[in-house]
């Protein structure tokens, strides 16, 4: 069994959890605008410490003056304005890397058409779009194409600025930027500025996961299906391990069932039929607690011993 080096929380998630728990202990229950981090075990832990996810609609429908936390993914400027108008006490848990991306995109508002690489519906990207004052284009590589018609016409101006969602994968961002450059070349742009706003911890874990996947027979990615980083780690693992040999599991409770399904699909009648030289790699999203990772590792060892 192998892992791609150090796992557990990234700094942004770790800091957000510590700040939220400390705030709730001192000031009473804290309502976070959505999950503080995209992981069910983290949400359960925070609930035990009086930190509960809430929607903006719920904020607007309740009494003024409540305690509200901005998650690690950040929020658009209008969210802060709304909370201020409601008299809320705000705890800003935005990840420092996300905050830097927000600052970059805010500067690009002055004279540039902004393009954001990422999931348009992700909380972080919605926030970045707000700090951009409304980007000209928000999406992933596939969103640059129209089925059966080739490249979309983006309608960008002479000066274009491109940034990325912080939890994306560098190679995919490069492909995206290359394609954007090809599209706007036909639209006769004059200036293209590209800012690599991807978190260095996310990038390093993706690179190491990709390398590890080439050396194992099965890759387990520990994390939530709601986590963009977890999904991206599974994506980078598939070329090395094979698409059918990469499994996303939330925690140790899912290990036995996940492996059982994999045995059947891979043609093994049981665990005992798997060769002793069988190699398993384990990686995890940056919002996955190290305790959860260790429990998965222990469960896998128990099954194969």
Q: Return the active site residues.
A: 124
Angle formed by the axes of helices 170-185 and 228-241, to 10°? 90
Cβ density class 13-43: b for 16+ within 10 Å, e for less: bbbbbebbbebbeeeeebbbbbbbbbbbbbb
From residue 63, alpha-carbon distances to 69, 242, 280 in Å are: 16, 52, 52
Q: How far is CA 171 from CA 45, 194, 231, in A?
A: 34, 14, 15
Integer Cα distance of 154 and 114 in angstroms: 11
Spatial separation of the C-alpha atoms in residues 222 and 284, rounded to whole Å: 4
Pairing of strands 159-164, 191-194: parallel
Inter-residue contact 91 to 145 (CB < 8 Å): no
């Amino acid at each position: 069994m192998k892992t791609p080096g150090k796992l557990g929380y990234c700094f942004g998630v770790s800091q957000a959890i510590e700040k939220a728990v400390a705030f709730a202990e001192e000031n009473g229950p804290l309502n976070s605008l959505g999950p503080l981090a995209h992981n069910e075990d983290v949400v359960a832990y925070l609930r035990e410490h009086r930190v509960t996810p809430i929607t903006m609609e719920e904020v607007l429908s309740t009494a003024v003056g409540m305690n509200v936390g901005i998650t690690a993914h950040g929020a658009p400027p209008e969210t802060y304005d709304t909370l201020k108008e409601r008299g809320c006490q705000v705890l800003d848990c935005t990840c420092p890397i996300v905050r830097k991306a927000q600052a970059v995109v805010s500067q690009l508002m002055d004279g540039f058409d902004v393009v954001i690489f990422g999931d348009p519906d992700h909380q972080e990207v919605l926030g970045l779009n707000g700090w951009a004052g409304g980007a000209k284009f928000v999406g992933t590589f596939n969103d640059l194409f129209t089925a059966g018609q080739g490249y979309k016409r983006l309608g960008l101006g002479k000066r274009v600025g491109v940034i990325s969602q912080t939890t994306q994968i560098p190679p995919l961002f490069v492909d995206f930027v290359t394609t954007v450059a090809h599209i706007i070349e036909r639209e006769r742009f004059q200036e293209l500025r590209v800012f690599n706003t991807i978190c260095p911890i996310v990038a390093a874990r993706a690179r190491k996961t990709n390398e590890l996947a080439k050396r194992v027979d099965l890759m387990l990615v520990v994390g939530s299906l709601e986590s963009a980083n977890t999904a991206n780690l599974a994506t980078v693992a598939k070329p090395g391990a094979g698409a059918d040999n990469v499994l996303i599991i939330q925690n140790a409770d899912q290990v036995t069932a996940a492996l059982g399904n994999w045995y059947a699909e891979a043609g093994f009648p049981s665990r005992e039929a798997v060769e002793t030289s069988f190699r398993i790699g384990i990686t995890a999203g940056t919002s996955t607690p190290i305790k959860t990772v260790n429990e998965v590792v222990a469960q896998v060892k128990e099954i194969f011993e």
